[in-house]
């Protein structure tokens, strides 16, 4: 464990870039006093607010800190925390929830298909299991009658997927073809995750390989569906690598605000589509193709245009291929999809009717001007109506002041005051991440000041998704400036989100974060006298 004297956290992070580290996989930094004793560690009786949103990548760390029977790695058994989360990450967690879900999303695409007694299957690999299950089904984990989910294991033999950009796409494709050959399945939904997953890594050649793998496997699945007489839709949930570069030439590994394709592949080619729409139009279109009525709750409109003389019977079976992260950009600058060899998508866009769907910002319940993401994408594809994101609810609560009267926040902060314990704020630091916002952290810091909290410790997660290179240090600097402004708090831990926000059971990563938070393990940044 090394140490640096007389340094701020932002300075330490900035130096780490010169040593070859980057935000996403940054090894932990821990603030210490001048004698090398870590500051701001989690102690029994402390209060914690995990302010991340979205939720699926936050479950494992939350479990390690709150579950009394946790056994994935050794933990401090006597650690008893007053713990609140910004939203509900999973039912049954031992936490208070500041912004619980609004209620169930009824009459989703999958629910209506199940209601008609039809058999359906969702296929992907573990990286996207929560999206084709929980989010596509309207934030429900339970299976509908006659619904199956086939999750191909994610490879564990690589550290990052730029080492294997094909991921498990061959197994996914084999599973799709097997289901195509089984006439008992009326609806087959499959997600190819490669473009999105590999697109978050700064490796252009790996991204191009991922794009080409998805294109090739899409071709295999589509041709098999055509031979079997199955109608196929090819679409996406958001964009990623079609805008790979900022205007200054820096690499952008985040999501984009681009629209996505919607291609309808049918043997008789009699269908025509509206040219423009958004992701809420997907479910009504699928239902119309299958001869099923859409729910009155669905505000989206079918993309099918009614032409005189049309006599197309409902499709008995339908295959939906979702190319995760495949956006549309008419320009070639920084467009890795245009740079890749994509004969399948070139063929489909020329030979079959297609539309362009909005998949970002207000079209999918997100703040205006923000990029899309897999959560919002799958949710709106399945719901067929606009579902406002947690970020929008929280931003509105900050604006109208109700955020500062939130019962969950008040309870944990009062617990810290009553026992003279510390308050810890834990989460991603970013203005653009779908998992959290720096504005939410600043609002919590203001609330802690209002409540008279005396010991406030901030534990920051950095992530290079949709951010300029080396942006993490700038965000930590912003927090340090906020601390100076309100005269409260310390940034006591910084770590890359790779180690903190996992959803695949990589418990060695979560253990690294746990040991940083509880035991102060990491590179010590000694608190200097300024």
Q: Which residue has the tokens 């729910």?
A: 295
Other beta carbons within 10 angstroms of residue 342's beta carbon come to 21
Distance CA 270, CA 108 (A): 27
Say whether domain 3-100+392-526 belongs to CATH 1.10.3470. no
- The predicted pLDDT at position 420 comes to 87
Query: Domain-by-domain residue ranges, the chain?
Result: 3-100+392-526, 109-386
H-only helix segments in 308-437: 336-339, 343-351, 374-383, 390-400, 407-418
SS3 89: coil
The predicted model scores a pTM of 0.74
Token pair in block for residue 242: 């079609």
Three-state DSSP class for 99?
A: strand
pLDDT (tens digit, 9 = 90+) per residue, 466-499? 566 678 899 999 999 999 999 999 999 999 999 9
Low pLDDT (below 70) residues in the chain: 1-6, 268-269, 307-312, 431-432, 464-469, 528-530
Determine how β-strand 318-323 pairs with β-strand 3-4.
unpaired
Would you state the pLDDT for residue 310?
Answer: 56
Tell me if 397 sits within 8 A of 403, measured CB to CB. yes
**By the 8 A CB rule, do 258 and 239 touch?**
yes
Per residue in 305-360, pLDDT tens? Answer: 875 445 567 888 999 999 999 999 999 999 999 999 999 999 999 999 999 999 99
The pLDDT value given to residue 436: 75
Measuring CA to CA, which residue among 229, 228, 241, 289 is closest to residue 263? Answer: 289
**Which of 3.40.720.10, 3.65.10.10, 3.30.2010.20, 3.40.1010.10 is the CATH number of 109-386?**
3.40.720.10
Parallel, antiparallel, or unpaired for β 354-358 and 260-265?
antiparallel
Q: Please give the pLDDT value at position 466.
A: 58
Q: How far apart are CA 69 and CA 281, in angstroms?
A: 44
pLDDT at res. 529: 47
pLDDT of residue 469: 65
């Amino acid at each position: 464990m090394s140490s640096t004297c007389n340094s701020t956290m932002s300075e330490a992070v900035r130096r780490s870039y010169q040593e070859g580290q980057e935000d996403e996989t940054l090894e932990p930094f821990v603030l210490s006093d001048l004698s090398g004793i870590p500051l701001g560690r989690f102690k029994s009786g402390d209060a914690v607010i995990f302010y991340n949103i979205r939720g699926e990548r936050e479950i494992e760390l939350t479990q390690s800190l709150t579950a009394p029977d946790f056994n994935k790695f050794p933990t401090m058994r006597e650690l008893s925390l007053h713990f609140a989360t910004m939203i509900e990450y999973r039912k049954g967690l031992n936490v208070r929830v500041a912004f619980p879900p609004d209620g169930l999303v009824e009459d989703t695409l999958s629910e209506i298909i199940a209601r008609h007694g039809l058999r359906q299957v969702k296929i992907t690999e573990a990286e996207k299991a929560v999206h084709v299950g929980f989010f596509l089904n309207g934030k429900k984990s339970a299976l509908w009658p006659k619904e199956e989910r086939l999750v191909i294991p994610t490879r564990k033999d690589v550290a990052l997927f730029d080492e294997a950009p094909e991921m498990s796409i061959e197994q996914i494709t084999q599973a799709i073809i097997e289901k195509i050959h089984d006439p008992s399945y009326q609806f087959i939904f499959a997600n190819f995750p490669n473009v999105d997953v590999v697109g978050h890594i700064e490796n252009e050649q790996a991204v191009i390989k991922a794009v080409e793998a998805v294109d090739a496997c899409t071709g295999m699945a589509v041709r098999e569906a055509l031979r079997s007489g199955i109608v196929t839709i090819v679409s996406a949930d958001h964009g990623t690598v079609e805008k790979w570069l900022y205007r200054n030439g820096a690499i952008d590994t985040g999501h984009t605000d681009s629209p996505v394709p919607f291609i309808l592949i049918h043997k008789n080619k009699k269908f025509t589509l509206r040219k423009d729409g958004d992701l809420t139009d997907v479910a009504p279109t699928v239902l119309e193709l299958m001869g099923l009525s859409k729910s009155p709750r669905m505000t989206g409109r079918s993309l099918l245009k009614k032409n005189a003389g049309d006599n197309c019977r409902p499709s008995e079976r339908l295959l939906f291929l979702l190319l995760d992260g495949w956006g549309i950009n008419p320009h070639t600058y920084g467009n890795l999809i245009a740079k890749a060899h994509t004969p399948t998508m070139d063929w489909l866009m020329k030979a079959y009717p297609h539309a362009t769907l909005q998949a970002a910002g207000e079209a999918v319940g997100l703040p205006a001007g923000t990029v899309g993401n897999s959560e919002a994408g799958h949710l709106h594809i399945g719901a067929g109506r606009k579902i406002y994101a947690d970020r929008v609810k929280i931003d509105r609560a900050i604006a109208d002041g109700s955020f500062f009267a939130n019962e969950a926040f008040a309870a944990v902060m009062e617990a810290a005051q009553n026992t003279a314990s510390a308050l810890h704020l834990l989460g991603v630091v970013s203005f653009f991440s779908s998992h959290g916002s720096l504005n939410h952290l600043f609002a919590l810091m203001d609330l802690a000041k209002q409540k008279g909290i005396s010991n406030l410790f901030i534990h920051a997660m950095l992530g290079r998704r949709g951010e300029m290179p080396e942006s993490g240090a700038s965000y930590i600097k912003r927090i340090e400036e906020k601390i100076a402004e309100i005269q409260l708090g310390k940034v006591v831990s910084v770590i890359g989100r790779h180690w903190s926000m996992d959803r695949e059971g990589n418990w060695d990563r979560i253990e690294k974060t746990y040991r940083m938070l509880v035991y102060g393990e990491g590179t010590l940044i000694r608190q200097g006298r300024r």
